Structure 1
Amino acid sequence: MLPKYNPSEIEQKHYQNWEQNGYFQPNFAQKDAFSIQLPPPNVTGTLHMGHAFNQTIMDGLTRYYRMKGCNTAWIPGTDHAGIATQIVVERQLAAQNISRHDLGREAFLAKVWQWKEQSGGTITQQMRRVGCSADWSREYFTMDETRANIVTKVFVKLHQQGLIYRGKRLVNWDPVLGTAVSDLEVENVETDGFMWHIRYPFADNPSEGLTVATTRPETLLGDVAVAVHPEDARYAHWIGKKVILPLTGREIPVIADEYVEKDFGSGCVKITPAHDFNDYQVGKRHDTLLINIFDLEAKVLSETQVFDYRNEAQQGFRLPEQYAGLDRFEARKKIVADLQAQGYLIETKPHKLMTPKGDRTGSVIEPLLTDQWFVDMHATPNGGEPDSEFKGMSLAQKAQHAFASGQIHFIPENWINTYNEWMRKLDDWCISRQLWWGHQIPAWYDEQGNIYVAETEEEAQKLSGSLNLKRDADVLDTWFSSALVPFSTLGWTDNGIDTDDLKAFLPSSVLVTGYEIIFFWVARMVFMTMHFTGKVPFKAVYIHGMVRDHEGKKMSKSEGNVIDPVDLIDGIDLPQLLEKRTTGLRKPETAPQVRAATEKLFPEGIPAMGADALRFTMASYASLGRNINFDFKRAEGYRNFCNKIWNATNFVLMNTEDKDCGYGEFATEPRAYSFPDQWIIGRLNEVERDVTQAYKTYRFDLAAELLYSFIWNDYCDWYLELAKVQLQNGCASRQRATRHTLLRVLEVSLRLLHPIMPFITEELWQTIAPMCERKVSDSIVLAPFPIFDENAITETQAAFGKMSALQDLAGAVRNLRGEMGIAPNIKAPLFVETADDLGELLAYLPALAKLTEVQAVATLPEHEDAPVAICNGARLMLKVEVDKAAETARLNKEAEKLNKALEKLNAKLSKAGYVDKAPAHLVEKDKAELADLQEKLAKIQVALDKLK
């Protein structure tokens, strides 16, 4: 007998054994290869539900193809996460009243490396807890020496090819961090603001003017034009004329552009190209100047910085001195007050708007003109590419060609439309960040400002002819180094010679990732890998949905609905959970809300589910491309599934250990297979076929559904009960066949289940496999995946018909028991009237329907109160005297209970606004529950009528 199922006792034991024995490493003796790259999580990060979902799919695929005999490599690593990591260390220093500037760059970076060594491996340890079978011997860090050398080499080569340049462009600027940030690091948050309506006087008739509506009056100081729609008859005669910019006296033109919406606001839009991305494009079309009014802290300059779209500086001009040095929001207040005092402010209206905020600091992002490094996405490289069909294409063309040629495809396919739409609008890629932590840009400046790009300072000095050079202080965007992962992790050296890893694992088989980084990572890996290796990085991109809470809301610490996967694995009591969730909140004032949400969702804390139950839950949700509403109750159900498998194995062991099972010395003895044996073997064969197809097509939800239904329903609920009958009453050859089948089906089921549930399957397989002579490896990790036998379907077909008839009979008897109100613990005799020979089936009915006996009769006895069921041409009657009074009382009590539930649910659904305002999935759930209650009540009424 196995001890009670306790996942914590088996998980760590098996994982250590797998890793220590090198089971996760590739086997180059295998002909076919399967490889997959882990989207490198931030080194600052901890595991969240999105990771658990993503990694369940990746590990499931890896384990499946490893068992299929492929040379398998899942390559893990972590990203240095420039902004996030620098913030973590700066906060630690701030607690000691130290800033990075106090330390200086070199000493600060030493502190960051120290933090990384001490705390940077949290997430990879958590991945092990989930059971990820990555090849940890290949683990990389995007700032390690190998990656750093490749990043430098790639940057220099792109610059030599004319694909990297330095220029002044509009970027997302975080004034608190003091750096440009990517779109992915910007959250658009709905906020309550105002729309200010301002009069811009006509230059030739100042008593009249155009009314401009804006949510950012402080940027008025940098206006270069007022735009109207070219087909707006109201303003057609003013196009080309001048208006006076309030508070400044500066004249600006009225221009026509289709960007303006005629029916929105006044139909007049102020154009500030240096502080708005849409305005930047309008200004570019009309060749305006760009007037920057803010410094890097988003404070108003005393004198503007003026540029044209060729980056050539123009003469600036002084701004009104009363605004100089003011923070942009302080400047807003003063400008609004001055506009009102001078008669320019027409009205102010409350207005909801989407405000861009830095995801790390919460500060409002400022579109700002700064000097940055860019990758030119549309230029043709001037040589130096590997020979391939992609040679001579721009980076953008490469990224499009990979999918258009079918060398890469999306799963689901509809994501190609999103990808192509983004590629059509692609701008040059800003790759510089004003940080200290990261890959420092390999560029040096001489005293005249000339730039020298080289792999080392010595090379730059040779290029410049001077020893007095200063290195660029900026670092590269984190996405730059992660874009190189498909080849920087496989030994690429730019010498044109492929390593064994590159030959075997590039392109990788599939990339598994979320839709939110298609542009930031997927596309960039595509064009970088194609450009430097002449190969696509992967053959397929599997896009999965986002994990949300049970109501479909985004998981957020401030909402109190975040679930830590490790808490689900290990369990955590409520006090610990509350402390964990309310500590370190970005907004401490949300702590009461977080506490209340936590207590509502987990009133008793989170019981331990184990990694297998968590993984099976995630697999069950993995429908192609759909978002996931994670229901904790489903995880509890799959924890019960683990128990079911464990208990079923105990039953098998009790009936097979040290017994004749048709293996070993008894292998040649006759085995008399019954139709239940043949049926379960046939069902197993079908499941082998369908689960294999599900894994191959990334349908983990279907694989989970198939395995759950087969193991719980077919094997445990049906076959084990039938096996009991055969073991008790069968002859020696029948018993031998039954034991053989019990072991065979269980052992194969464990192998089918292993990619999703690795721990429990390893534990049980180690016991079961030797008994049925299937232990051909030291671990189920390396055991062969079951192969579908097409012939077995034909061989077992007749058994399916008999089993279907038996299931129908058992179902009919169970319905009779329910209709008569017979308690589950009471056994009763059954009369069967039939012209057919059902003897082979009837022998199993007592065990399936809790009967004392089954008596075949020519005609059912007369009994006016006893209900009769008709099934497969047979008439069935239970021989039980019905106490009409007691049964009527019982049914009336049940009807009363159902009516109360109906009244409560009807009141909820009829409440004003509920159906229209509540989440659709909750309304549908309530309506389904209502229909179920009504159906149950109707059945009770039918039973009551029969008792009258």
Structure 2
Amino acid sequence: MLDKTLNPAAFEARLYEGWESAGAFAADPTSNARPYAIMIPPPNVTGSLHIGHALDITIQDTLIRFRRMQGRDVLWQPGTDHAGIATQMVVERLLAAQGIDRRDMGREAFVDRVWEWKAESGGTITRQLRRMGASLDWSRERFTMDEGLSDAVREVFVTLHRQGLLYRAQRLVNWDPKFQTAISDLEVESKEVKGSLWHLRYPVEGEPGRFLIVATTRPETMLGDTAVAVNPSDERFRDLIGKNLVLPIVGRRIPVVADEYSDPEKGSGAVKITPAHDFNDFEVGRRHKLPAPSVLDAEGRVTLEEIEGEARAYPGVSEPDVLSSLHGLDRFDARKAVLAELERLELIEKIEPHTHAVPHGDRSGVPIEPRLTWQWYVDAATLAKPAIAAVEQGRTQFVPKQWENTFFAWMRDIQPWCVSRQLWWGHQIPAWYGPDGQIFVERTEGEAEAAARAHYGKDLPLTRDPDVLDTWFSSGLWPFSTLGWPQKTPELSRYYPGDVLVTGFDIIFFWVARMMMLGIHFMGDVPFKVVHIHGLVRDERGQKMSKSKGNVMDPLELADAYGADALRFTIASLAGPGRDIKLGRQKVESTRAFTTKLWNAARFCEMNGIAPDPTFDPSAVRTPLARWLLDAGNAAIAEATAALESYRLDDYAGALYRFTWGSFCDWFLELAKPVLSGPDGAEKSETKGVAQHVLGLILRLGHPVMPYVTEELWARFGYGPEGSLIRTPWPEPAVVPDAEAARAELGWLTGFIAEVRAVRAEVNVPPSVTVPILLQGASPETMARAARWIEPIRRMARATEVTALDGPAPAGVAQAVVGEATAMLPLAGVVDLAAERTRLAKEHAKAEAEARKHAQKLANPDFIARAKEEAVEETRERLSTAEAEASRLAAAIARIAA
């Protein structure tokens, strides 16, 4: 007998261990079945499951389990990413707690220590994925620094270099002064900072007393200025174009250049150009062939090594010892010192408060610096063209389609991709340098030595490039490196390209685009046919989750509290394509009621002697109730299948919920109770047969999103051995005789009872009170139906009788239209209808006022422009809720006869 109370903790771990040990998740490259493959976005090996992972996993596992039940040969490829900077940071912190600095250890010992950490602690997130029910083929688990994946990385690097698509160059990068490495745009987050805008006077050479005012938020970088730019259309500065200024403090002569980059409406209209320390300035410098001296070192300290000063007697030029005193100062200390010197030289025109976005390293938390360094780059523009064409031609489709525009916008304006990082943990770049700086890019050190021998005519010592590759470089190979490439494996030919990639919009460029570029270039085909883009998980008010707001939700804690199935179903029910999810604890709690409802329905069936019957034939049913339920089951199968095939998990969850809770529990079981409790006979046998058949159908329909409770009930009820539901075929529609007639008959009955219940609820008729129902304008067929179903109408609609009304309606009735008839409940003496009408009118007026308030707010352009996106969306939802409530109350008022 099923336990009285659903307790997911009693079976979740047992079922998962059973699936995994039985090989239920395993792909079979020798199978004749059609393959279906999803490559998991590899979580960081340092990671811990967060709510975004829970969304990702729910979508992928639901699709995977659905296709597995359809008989496909499913591969859900698991693995983790070595996460260069994140992992190095974790291990450095552990060492620092022991008083150890990695630089004292040396590179080899440090990397060995990282591998030790990975072996001890790096599997946390994979254990947590199991907790969520993720049916990944763990026998194929990969790590981006496995030897096989490392082979793929070296092969791609060497091949791209030989094809001229990967090269070394000096360009600006995002530089993290704390970690002393280049970082990707994805690892940069902008923070609003309250600062100042300093308006500085730059003396015009040869025109004593004349200055060009330059506005800046970074006075410390002025030491590296090589020009000042003005807009060519700006009349204020036209006569200065081509003249020179004297750079304050330094004394270097710098030109005034005309460039559209300078906006006459911003600041002073004149922009200082520091090519080595600003991305926009770098491009201006390239256009005007300006020098680019660096004035900040790797740690963000002032360096004067590339500065050429002209310490001569000129207004605004400091003495040599003043300039030299800046050397070695931290950038923020240098800012104070530069400003103090400018103040002394009377070269500060004015200072304005200024709030602006400052890029910070997302892990270090310090402001990043644009820095001019030698790095390795991939010619992304060349690789992007075939990827753009693939999406244009529909070989890879985005769901929702509008994300293609984001993909195109990024790809058509793509810049060279910096793939080198100044770290120790990662794939070390396979490049060696000769004594004269000659570069040898080879797969192995031996091949590099051979190439150097051929070049120099003798053996000479080589030095390997100390940098490692950007994590996105190796993860960009994920769809084919995990399948054994560069070897030609059976898995590679069978599971590439994959069917769908599930990911968030925030990494379309950083990961999706790079997989597209590298997959097409090396495999000759797209890496996946569909890119399913989901939104963010926000809190119930629509705010982004963050630790600082205290609104972060732990999916593991929710799974422990309510069961993994309840969390998964909640996420699925909210997961419309591309739409952000508003998730609150209350929603998960309410979904637990759904899993509990399913459990209780199964227990009710068990208590009524309902058991699996392999001889049951749906096409032989005769009673309208049984035929109606089977027909509704067919509709649920069609709706759920179509929803999953179009990545509409919300529609799938909705179809499952409506059929399970509505059709099966609320209607069929309630209507069947008298039969099930009555004497044995053909009707009872048929009712039991259809009940066990449809319960099994529900368990199969629900398994992809609620794997645990459905698998437990499947075995406990006797539909199959424990752990067998996962590979049980997806349900097919049954042949239902006279389905249309049954649909019309039960559709009328359920609609009639539902309308009567709604009327009673709206005017507050106590459940204990029974009243007659009068039908005005009813056809003979309707009256016959009422007679046939009088017992459930009495029981479920709390009615004494149903009679025809030929004359006018009596006073004091509440009414509802059901088909061609009007159902009237005589409530005079039972309910004060006048008072109810007054109450409903007040509530209606309140709802309309609420709707007007939100509508006026949304009609205000200032609100739309200035309010946060989540506030605007919340107002729209409140308007929709208020309008719906006003409509409901208007209908309720109309039901009470005057």
Q: TM-score, normalised by structure 2?
A: 0.90
SS at match of 2:191: strand
| Aligned counterpart, 2:27 | 26
Does the CA contact (< 8 Å) of 1:722 and 1:847 recur in 2?
A: no
Separation in 1 of the partners of 2:619 and 2:449?
A: 86
- Of 535, 546, 559, the residue aligned with 1:556 is 546
Is 1:537 aligned to residue 527 of structure 2?
yes
Spell out, residue by residue over 1:48-67, the C-alpha distance to the aligned partner (whole angstroms, 9 max, x if none).
11111111111111111111
Give the Cα separation in 1 of the matches to 2:885 and 2:578. Answer: 34
1:620 is aligned to 573
Please report how far the alpha carbon of residue 258 of structure 1 lies from its aligned counterpart in structure 2 after TM superposition: 1.4
Q: Confirm or deny: 8 A CA contact 1:721 1:847 kept in the other structure.
A: no
- Evaluate the alpha carbon distance shift between residue 669 and residue 470 of structure 1 in structure 2; reply closer, same or farther with a 3 A threshold: closer
Residues 662 and 736 in structure 1, CA contact (< 8 A), matched pair in contact too: no
Is the deviation greater in 479-488 or in 417-426?
417-426
SS in structure 2 opposite 1:557? coil
**Closer, same or farther in 2 for the Cα pair 1:355/1:802, shift >3 Å?**
same
Task: Determine the structure 2 residue equivalent to 1:440.
Answer: 428
CA contact (8 A) 2:49 2:125 kept: yes
Tell me the amino acid that sits aligned with residue 920 of structure 1: V
Matched position secondary structure for 2:323: coil
| Residue from 494, 501, 505 that aligns with 1:511 | 501
Return the offset for 1:902.
10
CA contact under 8 A between 1:662 and 1:671: conserved in structure 2?
no
Deviations 1:719-770, CA, capped at 9 Å, x for gaps: 2111224435687222222112112222112211111111111111224463
| Match 2:801 to one of 848, 854, 859 | 854
For 2:846 and 2:646, locate their aligned partners in 1 and report how far apart those are by CA, in whole Å.
47
Please state how far the C-alpha of 1:357 moved relative to its aligned partner.
0.3
- The 3 A distance-change label for structure 1 pair 907 and 653 is same
2:727 aligned partner = 782
Q: Deviations over 1:426-457 (max 9, x none)?
A: 22211111111111112222333322222222
Structure 1 residue 796 corresponds to structure 2 residue 739: yes
- Aligned partner (choices 347, 350, 356) of residue 344 of structure 1: 347
Which residue pairs with 1:157 in the alignment? 159
**Deviation (angstroms), 1:900:** 10
Cα contact 1:302–1:318 (8 A) shared by 2? no
Structure 2 residue matching 1:558: 3-state secondary structure:
coil
Q: Which letter does structure 1 place at the counterpart of 2:557?
A: D
**Residue range with higher mean Cα deviation, 398-407 or 368-377:** 398-407
1:776 touches 1:783 (CA, 8 Å); kept in 2? no
Does 1:841 find its partner at 2:789? yes
* 1:540 CA displacement: 1.5
Whether contact under 8 Å (1:36, 1:511) holds in the other structure is yes
Shift of residue 231, structure 1, vs aligned partner: 1.9
* 1:304-356 CA distance string (max 9 Å, x none): 179xxxxxxxxxx9992121111111111111121122121100101111101
Separation in 1 of the partners of 2:396 and 2:890? 56
Distance of aligned partners of 1:114 and 1:31 in 2 relative to their CA distance in 1, 3 Å threshold: same
Q: In the TM superposition, what are the counterparts of 1:266-305 in structure 2 within 5 Å?
A: 266-304=268-306
Return the offset for 1:80.
Answer: 0.5
Supply the distance in 2 between the matched residues of 1:532 and 1:820 (Cα, whole angstroms): 70
Structure 1 match to 2:223: 221
**3-state DSSP of counterpart to 1:367:** strand
Does 1:486 find its partner at 2:474? no
SS at match of 2:689: helix
Contact 2:621 2:627 survives alignment (8 Å): no
Q: Contact conserved, 1:274 with 1:367, CA < 8 A, in 2? A: yes
Question: Structure 2 stretches of 5 or more lacking a match?
Answer: 309-319, 454-458
Give deviations 1:105-126, integer Å, cap 9, x for gaps: 1221121111111110111111
**More deviation in 254-263 or 175-184?**
254-263
Match of 2:872 among 916, 920, 938: 920
Q: Which residue of structure 2 aligns with residue 475 of structure 1? A: 468
Q: Distance in 1 between matches of 2:74 and 2:356?
A: 50
SS in 2 for 1:410: strand
Residues 235-262 of structure 1 show CA distances to partners (whole Å, capped at 9, x for unaligned) of 2232211111111221111111112212
Give the number of equivalent residue pairs: 869
Assess, with a 3 A threshold, how the Cα gap between structure 1 residues 424 and 830 changes in structure 2: closer, same or farther. closer
1:186 and 1:44 map into 2 onto residues whose CA distance is 19
Q: Which residue of structure 2 lines up, in the alignment, with residue 733 of structure 1?
A: 682
Q: Distance in 1 between matches of 2:594 and 2:745?
A: 28
Shift of 1:220: 0.6
- Which digits, 9 at most, give the CA deviation of each residue in 1:232-291, with x for residues without a partner? 222223221111111122111111111221222222111111100011111111111111
Say if 1:902 and 1:230 are closer, same or farther in 2 by CA, change over 3 A: closer
Residue pairs, 1:57-68, within 5 angstroms: 57-68=59-70
User: Are 1:640 and 2:593 an aligned pair?
Assistant: yes
Residues in 2 aligned to 1:241 and 1:371: alpha-carbon distance in whole angstroms = 32
What is the rounded CA distance, in whole Å, between the counterparts of 2:663 and 2:136 in structure 1? 34
Aligned pairs (5 A) from 1:635-674: 635-657=588-610, 663-664=614-615, 667=616, 673-674=622-623
Q: Are residues 1:141 and 2:146 paired?
A: no
2:746 is equivalent to residue 758 of structure 1: no
Change (3 A) 1:700 1:318: farther
Counterpart of 1:391 in structure 2 is: none
Distance 1:462 1:881 in 2: 103
CA distance in 2, matches of 1:409, 1:909: 37
Structure 1 residue 85: deviation in Å? 0.6
- Rate the CA distance shift 1:638–1:940 in 2: closer, same or farther, 3 A: closer
Letter of the 2:343 counterpart = Q
**C-alpha distance in 2, partners of 1:273/1:858?**
90
Question: C-alpha displacement at 1:778, in angstroms?
Answer: 5.6
**Whole-angstrom distance in 1 between the partners of 2:567 and 2:758:** 35
Name the % identity: 44
Are 1:94 and 2:96 counterparts?
yes
Q: What amino acid is the match of 1:20?
A: S
Output the CA distance in 2 between the equivalents of 1:795 and 1:945. Answer: 39
Whether contact under 8 Å (1:869, 1:875) holds in the other structure is yes
| Cα separation, partners in 2 of 1:267 and 1:730, compared to 1, 3 Å | farther
Pair 1:258–1:624, CA change in 2 (3 A)? same
Instruction: Tell me the CA shift for residue 801 of structure 1.
Output: 1.8
SS at match of 2:427: coil
SS at match of 1:235: helix
Q: Does the alignment pair 1:704 with 2:656? A: no
Match of 1:694 in 2: 643
